[in-house]
Structure 1
Amino acid sequence: MIKTFQGKSIIVGTPKDFEINKMIIKELRNVGFDSVFEISFKYQKFKYKNLWQHAKSFCKKNFGNRPHYKQLLRFEQIEPDLIQQLNELPDVDYVLLIRPDVYSPSYIDVLKKKSKKCVAYQWDGLKRFPAVNDVIQKFDRFFFFDPADLEGNGVLPVTNFSPISYRPEELFDSERITDVYFSGSYFPKRAAVLGKILSQLFKLGKSIKYRLNAWKLRENKKYNLTTTREFITFEENMKNSYNADVVIDLVFTGHSGLSFRIFEAIRFDKKVITTNQAILKYDFYDANNIFVWSKKSDIQDLKRFLDAPVNPISDFLKTKYGFENWIKYVLDEGEYISINLPEN
């Protein structure tokens, strides 16, 4: 069977956090791409050239609606080398940028000339990264995952996706088995909510594994939670989720888009405890599978949820939110199921 992208080529740029770029490249090769060229990068240490540049950055950040202006300055520092690397690549069929706000407009102009179709996906909200507005019109198709960001600009809706290239035998690990798993970055409010949820689960006799990631040691003494500086890869996180019965998902302040944990749970028929109220509006929501935690939640509600059997997700929904359908929809190639977002 000939795959849609067999014989096709793509340039892809993604964040390198937790080696998520490696997962995306694996997914692209799995759906048939013969040639995958990566332009992801890691920032180098940055030092302001002078007091004027520092002051300008301060003003842009605090008064110019550019909270990540320093990010662009850091990119400018490495841009000449990145453009030289880009010019050495052959022309391709597609370009896919995830988090296009980390690239400068001038770099994107050069990048566009390398492909027949250039698309981008912003998987963080506009409130956090408003600078992305400067580059939306440079792309043939531009996507957001938060319903609040879809007004105007000709942008399109899309969710995150389920990785489909990982087989159960790759993911199963008897030493990782647990009832409940959580992984996420540390923020004081997030740690407090996590503590409340875990304390209820502990009372119900559930085994728990959690990771609160932070560069510095942090602690929530009330719930005896501590952070770790030992960051693990996206693939390791997925293995941990796969070997848990229940995955906890705590929405990031500032957007209501759904995290990867949700789509992994869809693929592997896992239960989810989430603070993201927006999930109630999605077509895969099932009260047996998804518990929306709020201030009103109590231990009996949680117990009823955990005791109820999982309702297997339909093959249609697993296909819809799987990577193969996702990339066909994003690139507008082949037959696909459109991925819409609920009304804000």
Structure 2
Amino acid sequence: ISPNYYGFNEVVLEGFINYSGCEVQHIVSNEKYIYENFGEKAGNFFAKIFLGKNLKSEKAVKKLTSTINALEQFDYIVINRHDLLTKDQMLILKSKTKNLLSLLWDSLEKIPQLENNIDLFNKVYSFDGVDAEQHGFVKINNFYFIKKAVNNLNTFKVSYLGTYDKRIKQVIKFFTFFKEQEISSKAKIYIYHSELYKVKEVLPATVQFIHDIIPFSEAYKFYEDSKIILDLAHENQRGLSFRPYEAIGLKKKLITNNSEIMKYDFYDPQNIFVVDTGKEINIPVEFFESDYKEVEQSIADKYYIKNWVAKIIQDNE
């Protein structure tokens, strides 16, 4: 059970289908309610104006509750973003399994509401090591799901794919550096077209705004013609995003501002350059020119989605 967010849910769903050994059912928790007729739409319009109520949202909750009520018993129920469900919905789910599991792709600091109803779960999985230690969660790393051979025919040295947020200042800083050093690079930043008015920054020519989401299942293709992936962590991020793992699967080098990566067994300074973004960027030319060094296969396999799924299943057998 998860929201449809950049298509992450579809990749996880396919992973469970392929590698869990279970029959799998998927429920999208943020599916929008579609009006049955014009009268229903008009009624909601007046309810919002005169009653301060959003009947459409209430109907969406009722529809999801009805779907959950109709479920049979499951060996495992895994919920991503459980804060999008009501407590009543989660209590219904808890009655339908011996293994009610929460999967956190965000820290409690980033989404504080995730701490609500945490006691309902048999286990909570988090990529944030600090949250795991402080709250008794199970630490689980992110994963890669695409495997590629080393590609030496790279059009670009560096590529970056992200969303418009506070990291834009770092994006500008990096791509200005790449331009000054004559390092071929490209970046795409997703932003709603209606929110372009918020943009005050002047972007380097190699950074492009896009208004259509590139699904997670397709995003890796953006990096295929580049030698290096740029990874920019969110402020106060304590775990690793998906970018470092995608770099393993695609056999790409990585530039990141997340020093946490130096604690991991796949860290190799020939493949990964850690930048302190509080200082001037100074990446030696040798890093851009040197070849990718193959990660030991037993280490790389640990972070493949097959083993990510296996951990969740085996933990709760």
Instruction: Pick the TM interval, shorter chain.
Output: 0.7 to 0.9
1:74 CA displacement: 8.6
Task: Return the match for 1:96 from 54, 63, 78.
Answer: 78
Distance in 2, Cα, partners of 1:79 & 1:280: 43
Residue 194 of structure 1 corresponds to which residue in structure 2? 171
Match for 1:296: what amino acid? Answer: K
CA distance in 2, matches of 1:289, 1:316: 17
Runs of 5+ consecutive residues of structure 1 not aligned to the other structure: 1-12, 55-69, 336-344
Which of 99, 103, 119 is residue 137 of structure 1 equivalent to?
119
Equivalent residue number for residue 28 of structure 1: 16
Using the alignment, how far apart are the partners of 1:84 and 1:248 within structure 2? 43
Distance across 1 between alignment mates of 2:304 and 2:316: 15
Distance in structure 1 (CA, Å) of the matches to 2:131 and 2:50: 35
Q: How many angstroms apart in 1 are the aligned matches of 2:224 and 2:101?
A: 31
* Alpha-carbon contact 1:94-1:118 (below 8 Å) kept: yes
Change over 3 Å in CA distance of 1:75–1:287 after alignment to 2: farther
**Counterparts of 2:174 and 2:127 in 1: how far apart (Å)?**
26
Distance 1:262 1:84, change over 3 A: same
Q: Select the residue among 214, 237, 242 that pairs with 1:260.
A: 242
Letter of the 1:249 partner, please give it. Answer: D
Query: 14, 21, 26: which one pairs with 1:38?
Result: 26
Report the equivalent of 2:159. Answer: 181
The alpha carbon displacement at 1:252 in A equals 1.0
Equivalent residue for 2:191?
214
1:223 aligns with 2:204: yes
Distance 1:86 1:334, change over 3 A: closer
Aligned-partner Cα distance in 2 for 1:92–1:242: 39
- State whether residues 148 and 251 of structure 2, in contact with CA within 8 Å, keep that contact through their aligned partners in structure 1: no
Whether 2:106 is the aligned partner of 1:106: answer no
Alpha-carbon distance between aligned partners in 2 of 1:298 and 1:130, rounded to the nearest angstrom: 33
Residue number in structure 2 paired with 1:325 = 307
Q: Which amino acid aligns with 1:88?
A: A
Alignment of 1:205 with 2:182, yes or no, is yes
Shift of 1:274: 0.9
Using the TM superposition, give the Cα deviation of residue 221 of structure 1 relative to its aligned residue in structure 2, in angstroms. Answer: 1.2
Structure 2 contact 143–303 (Cα < 8 Å) conserved:
yes
Q: Aligned partners of 1:334 and 1:40: how far apart in 2? A: 23
Alignment of 1:220-259 (within 5 A): 220-221=201-202, 223-224=204-205, 225-259=207-241
Residues 160/52 of structure 1: CA separation in 2 closer, same or farther (3 Å cut) = farther
Superposed displacement of residue 184, structure 1: 0.9
Alpha-carbon distance, 1:288 to partner: 0.9
Q: Which residue of 1 aligns with 2:279?
A: 296
Would you say 1:14 and 2:6 are equivalent positions? no
- 1:60 alignment partner in structure 2: none
Q: Deviations over 1:208-232 (max 9, x none)?
A: 2211111122352163545221211
Residue pair 1:79, 1:107 contacting (<8 A) in 2 also: no
1-structure distance, mates of 2:137, 2:52:
33
Which deviations, in whole Å up to 9, do the C-alpha atoms of 1:173-193 show, x marking residues without a partner? Answer: x9x953321111112x41221
1:29-50 Cα deviation digits (max 9, x unpaired): 2215452111113354898857
Give 5+ residue unaligned stretches, structure 2: 34-43
Q: Judging changes above 3 Å, is the alpha-carbon distance between structure 1 residues 140 and 79 closer, same or farther for their aligned structure 2 residues?
A: same
- Cα distance in 2 between the residues matched to 1:245 and 1:23: 24
Contact 1:15 1:21 in 2 (8 A): yes
Q: TM-score, normalised by structure 2?
A: 0.82
The 3-state SS of whatever aligns with 2:144 is coil
1:222/1:177 Cα in 2 relative to 1: closer, same or farther (>3 Å)? closer
Matched, 1:153 2:153: no
1:272/1:221 CA distance change after superposition, 3 Å: same
Q: Give SS of 2:291's match.
A: coil
Aligned residues of 1:183 and 1:212 also touching (Cα < 8 A): yes
2 CA distance for matches of 1:32 and 1:332?
Answer: 9
Cα RMSD, aligned residues only = 3.0
Deviations 1:85-135 (A, max 9, x none): 123333222111122222222211111222231211111111121122122
The amino acid that maps onto 1:42 is: N
AA at the equivalent of 1:250: L
2:75 is paired with a residue of what secondary structure? strand
CA contact (8 A) 1:75 1:102 kept: no
Q: CA deviation at 1:142?
A: 0.4
Distance 1:15 1:243, change over 3 A: farther
